[in-house]
Structure 1
Amino acid sequence: MSESRQPSLSPPPHNGGVIDEETRYEAVRSRDARFDGAFFFAVRTTGIYCRPSCPAVTPKRQNVRFYTTAAAAQTSGFRACRRCRPDAVPGSADWNVRADVVGRAMRMIGDGVVDREGVPGLAVRLGYSARQVQRQLTAELGAGPVALARAQRAHTARVLLQTTDLPVTEIAFAAGFASVRQFNDTIRTVYALTPTALRAAAPRRGAARATPAAGIPLRLAHRGPYRADAVFDLLAAEAVTGIEEVTGERGARTYRRTLRLPVGTGIVAVEETHHDATTGTGAGSSGEALHRGGWLDARLHLTDLRDLTTAVQRLRRLFDLDADPYAVDERLGADPRLAPLVAARPGLRSPGTADPDEFAVRALVGREGAGRLVREYGTVLDAACGGLTHTFPAPAALAAVPGTVGALAGALADGSLRLDAGADRDDAEAALRALGVDARTAAVIRMRALGDPDVALPGGPERALDAWRPWRSYALRHLALGGGA
């Protein structure tokens, strides 16, 4: 890779802007990992599509086509590159920033809504007809909701094939496919291999594949530098007894929690040490290794494997793994007040939550109050796992609690308030205020539960204005850690 080329490119405009084709080709030519997930490129002469940072020889410009999503490349007949594995890139930060129909739809598809409820269910949640949703996604992304969900199912299937010894038939249904035949056809189309051959092609890292009882090992990819220490500090400070715990020494901690999922429950463990995608070595949590990207190691135990896709996406939102730190740091670093804070903590994230409904309740009652609710209303695990004993109570279980907590839980239970991945952020904030939630708490819920990267807290820093858009949530994190908030 020619490192000298990389600084000449601006970070991808993850705010609804358009990346022109010449910029895209220059990113491919310089193997710029900052653009991984922002777009994909396909090569007509090979029939393969790749991520921009693919280490293969750069194809001639006339043979290259560009696509916004992997699903669009697959729909056009291209198969995934076995060398750069474009299906494993971090998600586009566009879907965090954008509040329009396409952004909301992409977040919901990632959460598994199409797999569980079909396109009609997605359309109902968006407030549009199925035909309108199909038209808007196809026009902008080159693929409709079925193709986008299909690409996601293929990735889930590859992870299960290459990391577990589950029977192929079980993997087909766990990944969300309606039939084994559909599963086989999709794997052949996307990877140009049969499921058995794809499993045999799994990279060997000196360890046998995991069994389901041992959990599913995952690499949670991120782009650019990642300030793991700040994320794990926050998670440790907020951890609620019974559903969360942080163990180990700073720099090598493990965050564990229970998950309440659409079909069953889960327990996840995520390691603080992050890995450099270029060298494959641990970068620790001090932030000194400003690598081009990497991953966090995780292990996921599920009572029902159909929850895998949803669980992974919720972890990605919790750890803010689809963020674009280059775009964030460039914008905020231009502000004189924030510049020294950004320089001290490049790659700082704005963590979300693994359960939006849970976070909203926790924002109202605080850490100790949440612990009491877990003990009184939470669901006890069949077998305790370390300090993990419960899952957080479902909204319906809290609806009878007096006061604002009960009103909030009741609204979540009956659907009059939605905080799911595709919720309209303005509508949700208005509904929270109508339930008696104060403006600052409603803004915190919007930032964390709804993953809004551009929230300014009422009564917060005076200069949390347009100069920080669309990354005001990140600016507040810098100020909080730098003593400026």
Structure 2
Amino acid sequence: MVQIDYQQARLSRDARFDGVFFTAVKTTGIFCRPICPATPPKEENVEYFETASEALVSGYRPCLRCRPESAPFSPAWFGTATTVKRALNIIHNEGFHDLNLTTLAERLGITDRYLRKLFEQQLGVSPKAYIQHQQILFAKALLHQTHLPIQDVAFSCGFNNVRRFNDAFKRITTKTPTEIKKLHTADVPIRLQLNYQPPFNWQHWRSFCEYRQINTVETLGQSSYGRTFTWQQPDGQYVKGWFNAVHRPDKHGFNVSIELDNPKYLYQVSQRIREIFDLDANVALIEQSLRSAGLPDHHIISGLRIPKCWDAFEAGIRAIFGQQVSVKAATNLLNTLVEQLGDRKWVALPANHINNGDKPHERIWFPTPEQVAKSDLAFLKIPGARKQTILNLANHFVATKGTGAENDIDQWLALKGIGPWTVEYAKLRGEGHPDIWLDTDLGIKKALDIFPSINVEHAKPWRSYMTFTMWGML
């Protein structure tokens, strides 16, 4: 565990600890990120917290200058294999709608009482308080950064009516949503800033994705990445969307524009975008683990992040295409699949763009499991067995839709044509799993010939970063 000198980190405004802890000022009742530009208070007036929820439950209100709701989520213990981490994954991946403590505890295989105990021990708050604090912090970000009307903000944050939202917001922040809202309502894309702890190795992330790009779904600029996406609702229907993220290394974050058919899923979508860029990675902990495994400093890729796919289904299809063929060949097959089966939509330009030489363009979405399952895949020039493996995966998703089992990647091993490498790769890029070691991968074997003394067990629980480091050596 990296030892943190909280006082030194806050006085130096060290951005590497943004999200690792928060500082509260006893004389003002306000809590801040360690990068807050305000004049640092005296140490005797400062109280430290590992999470924003702890500060909120202790009676402090968020700073309006550094906006703690915008901090990356990387407390000192983050990344350990705990029940609390699994609970947080459910909360942040599925959002706040229809989420209750009993259901959450059942999914974790523990009692309500034990779940409350774990939250109190590791986060300093109850699960109910934590969820509501996340709702309000996300609402505060939307009020500061977007043109969304207050009723849409409330809905996006899991509140069924504006009155309940207003009451909860004022109780926790001591201000009303109207007092916080900076921008007037307007019909423009939703724009958010998603922050990270530096460094972020944008060139490594970009190069990896460029080589595997689905041209009709993804767009890559010198400092930007965008794509279309679908979000599955509880009733099985899909919500379509699009986002574009521009890297701002000077701000330690990304400026993200989002278009979404239903704002109800805005929180889940924003969290998925965070995962795609691996924004919550605790770089200091990861690099320390790689050194412990014997990796020389000059081979550590500073600011390495795991480039995640949009969802497990896409990752599974990518992995199947990648079986025993080159990355280029697999990417060509992937592009063919999307061209043949993906939904399409022409996007008109705003009036102020028409005179800029821009043209309307077509957006294409990655095909759903249903679309793949209904096809015979005759357009793919691959062996019949490989086509059947793709259909087996698509049919598995269709058959288990809405049960949660479709995203249990370990169950894929029961499908003919899917082996351990495919499952592990899908976990790596479909879940962004931090501890995947692809020791059977040919590239990894070649890289290990360079460093036979590496003990990868010492890199736990960050072996995925060792995997990407080894790939980077090829």
* 2:388 matched residue in structure 1: 403
Task: State how 1:259-408 maps to structure 2 within 5 Å.
Answer: 259-263=229-233, 264-271=239-246, 273-277=247-251, 294-333=252-291, 337-342=295-300, 345-365=301-321, 366-381=330-345, 383=347, 388-399=362-373, 403-408=388-393
What displacement does 1:236 show?
Answer: 1.8
> What is the identity, as a one-letter code, of the residue corresponding to 1:468?
A
Instruction: Quickly say closer, same or farther: Cα 1:93–1:445, change in 2 above 3 A.
Output: farther
* 2:378 matched residue in structure 1: none
3-state SS in 1 of match to 2:115: helix
2:64 counterpart (65, 82, 92): 82
- TM-score normalised by L of structure 1: 0.78
What are the superposed Cα offsets for residues 1-36 of structure 1, whole Å, 9 maximum, x if unpaired? xxxxxxxxx846xxxxxx7xxx43443344333222
CA contact (8 A) 1:338 1:478 kept: no
* 1:468 matched residue in structure 2: 459
Instruction: Quickly say closer, same or farther: Cα 1:96–1:374, change in 2 above 3 A.
Output: farther
Bigger mean CA offset, 303-312 vs 457-466: 457-466
Structure 1 portions without partners, runs of 5+: 1-9, 13-18, 203-208, 278-293, 421-427
Bigger mean CA offset, 73-82 vs 380-389: 380-389
3-state SS in 2 of match to 1:403: helix
Distance in 2, Cα, partners of 1:452 & 1:156: 24
What displacement does 1:57 show?
Answer: 4.2
2:425 counterpart (444, 458, 483): 444
- TM-score normalised by L of structure 2: 0.80
CA contact (8 A) 1:318 1:351 kept: yes
> What is the identity, as a one-letter code, of the residue corresponding to 1:378?
G
* 2:470 matched residue in structure 1: 479
> What is the identity, as a one-letter code, of the residue corresponding to 2:230?
R
CA contact (8 A) 2:93 2:268 kept: yes
Equivalent pairs counted in the alignment come to 427
> What is the identity, as a one-letter code, of the residue corresponding to 2:459?
W
Distance in 1, Cα, partners of 2:428 & 2:72: 20
Distance in 2, Cα, partners of 1:60 & 1:455: 44
What displacement does 1:309 show?
Answer: 0.9
Structure 2 portions without partners, runs of 5+: 234-238, 322-329, 350-359, 376-386, 449-453
What displacement does 1:231 show?
Answer: 1.1
3-state SS in 2 of match to 1:269: strand
> What is the identity, as a one-letter code, of the residue corresponding to 1:340?
H
3-state SS in 2 of match to 1:298: strand
* 1:40 matched residue in structure 2: 22
What are the superposed Cα offsets for residues 289-315 of structure 1, whole Å, 9 maximum, x if unpaired? xxxxx1122211111111211111111
What displacement does 1:176 show?
Answer: 2.0
3-state SS in 2 of match to 1:82: coil
3-state SS in 1 of match to 2:431: coil
Instruction: Quickly say closer, same or farther: Cα 1:173–1:239, change in 2 above 3 A.
Output: same
The answer to whether 1:232 aligns with 2:232 is: no
What displacement does 1:419 show?
Answer: 6.7
CA contact (8 A) 1:224 1:326 kept: no
Instruction: Quickly say closer, same or farther: Cα 1:216–1:114, change in 2 above 3 A.
Output: closer
The answer to whether 1:255 aligns with 2:225 is: yes
Distance in 2, Cα, partners of 1:396 & 1:94: 41
* 1:157 matched residue in structure 2: 139
Bigger mean CA offset, 57-66 vs 179-188: 57-66
The CA RMSD measured in Å over matched residues stands at 3.0
Instruction: Quickly say closer, same or farther: Cα 1:117–1:242, change in 2 above 3 A.
Output: farther
CA contact (8 A) 1:325 1:347 kept: yes
What displacement does 1:219 show?
Answer: 1.5
3-state SS in 1 of match to 2:181: helix
What are the superposed Cα offsets for residues 100-119 of structure 1, whole Å, 9 maximum, x if unpaired? 32111112211234324433
